[in-house]
């Protein structure tokens, strides 16, 4: 009869970082949307703003001894935005807190404080993803929708009719598409809006759309500029130098995704394929979009801004209780100048 001899094995257990690390900050290094959107806490329940209607006409002839003509004053348009109320929590229950060990160890007792901090990072990531996806959806589709996860009903929505431009040939049609002509034609859309679609503005696309532009073989457009003289336009940097020279919007790739947990954690692009978002520059230099964080009862002093709390329900007499990690915000975006943005079908 054979005898099986078992030898003890040694091993080292480690903790490594996540496969996909998403931003938890709101700076332009993590998402270019923050070049155009400002987060602003306001101690109010809703947001309203007034805007003078555009002036029109020119001075009328009076003539010697004549009475001056009367001019009608311009009106005022008032806009109102009601924020939505966002919040969620993660719970650490008795079984996890008593039986679990620290990650990367064999038997080290779990420190609930460290685990709570990790759950705070998870919820903070979801909050920043919420802001980013809402802003990009607003610019891409002219609207955003917020749904109740328990009922599936839409509980908040806002929108406007975005300005659009459709290329005669999609940029994936290398031989017929006209990226340069498209951006030249776009400049006509700045008329009458105190907005510039020139070298100081930006066309945001994902990597696939950018690649389509660089593969252009139309000699009457980009490819013709690539091969004339000693010119070389083989990279996006080269292309942008050409665009700057022609006083056209520069292209910036934003190819980031977020994982949609309502759709099997599917990777969802912030900017879809064959779509470009042109964000122009106001001639006055004022910001285009503000993301307001409104008055919030979840903050102990009712102050505006996001909240993040750790609650031990045992402190309220519940046994065995649980540790709850909460995060949320009240608010939403206000696009003051939607005319400064154009959605391009490319």
pLDDT single digits (tens) 34-51:
999 999 999 999 999 999
* Residue 164 phi, psi dihedral angles, 5° rounding: -130, 155
- Domain 34-43+80-345 indexed as CATH 1.10.3470: no
Handedness of CA 110, 113, 114, 117 (dihedral sign): positive
What is the C-alpha separation between 77 and 160, in angstroms, rounded? 15
pLDDT single digits (tens) 308-318:
999 999 999 99
* Residue 9 phi, psi dihedral angles, 5° rounding: -110, 150
Regarding pTM above 0.85, the answer is yes
What is the C-alpha separation between 5 and 7, in angstroms, rounded? 7
**Going by DSSP bridges, is the β-strand pair 266-269/275-279 parallel, antiparallel, or unpaired?**
unpaired
Helix pair 236-245, 207-214: axis angle to 10 deg: 70
Q: SS3 for the chain, per residue?
A: CCCCCCCCCCCCCCCCCCCCCCCCCCCCCCCHHHHCEEEEECCCCCEEEEEECCCCCCCCCCCCCCCCCCCCCCCEEEEEECCEEEEEEEEECHHHHHHCECCCCCCCECCHHHHHHHHHHHHHHHHHHHHHHHHHHHHHHCEEEEECCCCCCEEEEEECCCEEEECCCCCCCCCCCCHHHHHHHHHHHHCCCCEECCCCCEEEECHHHHHHHHCCCCCCCHHHHHHCCCCCCCCHHHHHHHHHHCCCCEEEECCCEEEECCCCCEEEECCCCCEEEEECEECCCCCCEEEEECECCCCCCCCECCEEEEEEHHHHCCCCCCEEEEEEEEEEEEECCHHHEEEEEC
Q: What is the pLDDT of residue 146?
A: 77
Q: What is the pLDDT of residue 230?
A: 53
Domain boundaries, the chain: 34-43+80-345
* Residue 57 phi, psi dihedral angles, 5° rounding: 90, 180
Nearest to 346 by CA among 139, 217, 234, 204: 204
What is the C-alpha separation between 288 and 141, in angstroms, rounded? 16
- Name the stretches of the chain with pLDDT < 50: none
What is the C-alpha separation between 329 and 298, in angstroms, rounded? 8
């Amino acid at each position: 009869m054979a005898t099986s001899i078992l030898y003890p094995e040694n091993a080292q257990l480690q903790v490594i970082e996540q496969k996909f690390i998403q931003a938890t900050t709101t700076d332009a290094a993590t998402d270019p949307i923050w070049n155009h959107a400002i987060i602003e806490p306001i101690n109010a329940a809703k947001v309203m703003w007034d805007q003078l209607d555009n002036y029109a006409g020119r001075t009328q002839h009076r003539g010697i001894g004549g009475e001056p003509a009367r001019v009608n004053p311009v009106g005022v348009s008032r806009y109102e935005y009601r924020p939505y109320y966002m919040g969620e929590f993660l719970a650490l229950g008795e079984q996890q807190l008593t039986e679990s060990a620290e990650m990367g160890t064999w038997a080290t007792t779990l420190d609930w404080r460290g685990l709570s901090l990790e759950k705070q990072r998870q919820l903070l990531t979801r909050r920043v993803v919420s802001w980013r996806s809402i802003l990009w959806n607003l610019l891409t589709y002219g609207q955003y929708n917020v749904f109740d996860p328990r009922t599936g009903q839409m509980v908040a929505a806002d929108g406007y009719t975005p300005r659009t431009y459709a290329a005669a040939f999609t940029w994936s049609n290398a031989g017929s598409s006209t990226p340069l002509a498209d951006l030249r034609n776009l400049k006509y859309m700045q008329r009458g809006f105190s907005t510039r679609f020139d070298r100081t503005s930006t066309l945001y696309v994902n990597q696939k759309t950018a690649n389509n532009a660089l593969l252009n073989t139309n000699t009457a457009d980009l490819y013709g500029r690539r091969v004339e003289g000693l010119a070389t336009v083989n990279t996006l940097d080269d292309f942008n130098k050409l665009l700057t020279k022609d006083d056209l919007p520069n292209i910036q790739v934003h190819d980031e995704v977020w994982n949609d947990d309502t759709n099997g954690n599917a990777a969802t692009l912030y900017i879809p394929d064959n779509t470009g978002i042109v964000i122009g520059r106001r001639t006055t230099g004022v910001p285009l979009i503000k993301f307001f964080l409104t008055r919030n009862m979840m903050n102990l002093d009712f102050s505006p801004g996001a909240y993040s709390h750790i609650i031990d329900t045992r402190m309220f007499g519940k046994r065995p209780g649980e540790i709850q990690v909460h995060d949320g915000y009240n608010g939403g975006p206000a696009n003051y100048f939607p005319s400064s943005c154009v959605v391009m079908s490319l």
